[in-house]
Amino acid sequence: MDHSAGNSMAMSSVPDTVAGPGPSVAPAVEPAPAPASAPAVDVLPGMPPVPDPHNIYSEAGANMLGPAGLNSKAYAYVPNTKSSDVWVIDQQTLQVVDRFPVGTEVQHVVPSYDMTSLYATDDIGNVIRRIDPVTGQAGETIPVADPYNMYFTPDGKYAISVAEALRSLVWYDPVTWQEVDRVRYPDCKGIDHGDFTPDGGTAVFSCEFDGRVAVIDVQTHQLIRMVDMPQRNLNMGPQDLRIAPDGSKFYIADSDSDGVWVLDKDLQTVTRHIDTGDGAHGLYFSRDATWLFVTNRHEGSISVLDAYSGDPIGKWQIPGGGSPDMGNVSADGSQLWVSGRYDNVVYVLSTVDGSLITKIPVGNGPHRLALMPQPGRYSTGHTGVTR
């Protein structure tokens, strides 16, 4: 996973379980071979091209920083829902260097499309607060309808407020922050996380309290279809979702199923369930896009899957347990940072062997943290999904 320059996937291995020194080790897993010739992707107008259809994250590899990333401080931004503030951590010193208030109940910190800004989202106060990643300082507050989460379309045309309470997506001009469109999806209770097809033309959003996902046309904003999970969990059902590097499937974490559903690229057929652990929640790819990390929030563990096949590789147990929620992989690919939602800490883990590097105390109710800088040409939002 490009832990450092010149390292290859074959040089590292993944433990079955990491709970302290001396883990057992499973054989290293080689990346899935690229097809002899992958067809070019006909992308959404205005969207950057897809150089490698076998790996849509090929331009977001370790240390592949664009201009914004080169100028950003290496900070982690931690939104705390219950203390209504963002704590700022220096990734090098692992020390808290700042904190500032954000509205009533801050949920996420989201990198903008061009990664020149971050936005702390407050769905109760109906605002976002801008953060400058160059200085790490908080800026102006902008009115936005119910921004539980936020995404940017792959062409950069729209910012999307994921308005969970309204069962809606609210589409904004990301420069003026004027509302352009608002579409309600009444059969998608708990709309909260999403991702886009390789061509950028279709989005899939999870419906946490309806046990399904919504498939949405990015250009018209209209619902294409709902897809029910084989078991519809209506309490803490579908959570985070991510598209596989080759676009062959969507992975959908489902907390109540203790694992990950697999939605075929036809965006109609759920083909598989992968058991991971109690409270499967967040999904993150390694920097070389060969591994998929799944946070199991209720059992304090991280499952490691093959990013292409979904096959389980191993599991990392946080020593003493915990509540790993959401975060991201560091720019160099060597660390996984995730908030401890119910423990008021941030966990920093090695992506080589899952060992815990440190726990950092933060505010009350840390939710979806963002790391800057992030590799890639552009961000589609959330905690830093880049391509």
Closest by CA to 181, choosing from 157, 207, 212, is 157
Residue in the structure block whose two tokens are 């390292």? 7
pLDDT in tens, 123-163: 999 999 999 999 999 999 999 999 999 999 999 999 999 99
pLDDT tens-digit profile of 259-284? 999 999 999 999 999 999 999 999 99
- Of the candidates 303, 347, 305, 304, the residue with the CA atom closest to the CA atom of residue 322: 347
Q: How would you label 114-128 residue by residue, b for 16+ Cβ within 10 Å and e otherwise?
A: ebbbbbbbbbbbbbb
CA dihedral (383, 302, 351, 60) positive or negative: negative
- Other beta carbons within 10 Å of 81: 21
Domains in the chain, CATH or no CATH each? 12-17+48-372 (2.130.10.10)
Is the CB of residue 119 less than 8 Å from the CB of residue 131?
yes
pTM: 0.91
Alpha-carbon distances, residue 52 vs 35, 41, 111, 289, 305 (angstroms): 11, 9, 24, 12, 21
pLDDT in tens, 189-210: 999 999 999 999 999 999 999 9
* Per-residue pLDDT reduced to its tens digit, 298-345: 999 999 999 999 999 999 999 999 999 999 999 999 999 999 999 999
